[in-house]
């Protein structure tokens, strides 16, 4: 079970000024570059379930606004600003995923799916409240409160 620290409350869950789509590309690049040493057009296409030409087009736009560095047929890397934005998107993603998985007891996959969809539209304020809730819940749960058991019971039905 993921533990969320009080200090994490400092997260602001700021908006990015990007379209949902562009956020998806940034997020995919960030996640892929954590796993693999290089990120390929094909990988991004695979992750987002689209064809390569769509990726190429998106990369041009992201390069245009200085969120990635790349040359034709070359490497794909987030710039500093790209990384900062990826961080924001991922924070919202994980906040939502934790909430749906830990509190609402959706399966990991279902929670992942929901997070992927909602992360683009949830407001920073709403995300901060969810974060506080998670924080509260984890503390209470550690104390083995009765209400969390009753809640789990109801949510499992």
Partner DNA sequence: TGACATAATTAGGAAAAACTAATATTATTA
Partner DNA sequence: TAATAATATTAGTTTTTCCTAATTATGTCA
**Residues at the interface with a copy of itself (CB under 8 A):** 100, 103-106, 110, 113-114, 117-118, 121-123, 125-126, 129-130, 132-133, 135-136, 140, 145, 147, 150-151, 154-155, 157
How many CB atoms within 10 Å of residue 25?
25
When asked if residue 143 is in the footprint of DNA (CB under 7 A), the reply is: no
Q: Which is nearer to DNA, 49 or 157 (CB)?
A: 49
Q: What is the dihedral of CA 30, 34, 35, 41, to 10 degrees?
A: 30
Contact of residue 41 among a copy of itself, DNA, none (CB under 5-8 Å per partner type): DNA
Q: What is the DSSP string of 45-78?
A: HHHHT--HHHHHHHHHHHHHTTSEE--TTS--EE
Q: Measured between alpha carbons, how far is residue 30 from residues 52, 142, 153 in Å?
A: 18, 33, 37
Nearer to DNA, 26 or 103 (CB): 26
Binding partner of 103, given DNA, a copy of itself, none, CB within 5-8 angstroms per partner class: a copy of itself
Of 69-128, binders to DNA (CB under 7 A) are 70, 72-73
- Residue 36 makes contact with DNA by CB under 7 A: no
**Helix (DSSP H) and strand (DSSP E) numbers for the chain:** 7, 2
The residue within the footprint of DNA, chosen from 6, 53, 132, 152 (CB under 7 A), is: 53
CA distance to 26, 70, 114, per residue, from 22 (Å): 6, 16, 18
Q: For a copy of itself, which is the closer residue by CB, 16 or 79?
A: 16
């Amino acid at each position: 079970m993921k533990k969320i620290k009080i200090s994490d409350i400092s997260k602001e869950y700021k908006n990015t000024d990007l379209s949902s789509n562009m956020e998806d590309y940034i997020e995919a690049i960030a996640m892929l570059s954590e796993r693999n040493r290089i990120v390929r057009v094909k990988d991004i296409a695979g992750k987002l379930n689209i064809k390569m030409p769509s990726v190429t087009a998106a990369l041009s736009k992201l390069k245009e606004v200085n969120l990635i560095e790349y040359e034709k047929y070359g490497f794909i890397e987030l710039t500093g600003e790209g990384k900062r934005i990826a961080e924001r998107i991922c924070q919202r993603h994980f906040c939502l995923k934790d909430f749906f998985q830990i509190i609402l007891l959706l399966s990991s996959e279902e929670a992942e799916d929901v997070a992927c969809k909602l992360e683009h539209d949830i407001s920073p304020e709403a995300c901060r409240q969810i974060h506080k809730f998670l924080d509260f819940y984890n503390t209470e749960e550690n104390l083995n409160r009765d209400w969390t058991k009753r809640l789990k019971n109801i949510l499992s039905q």
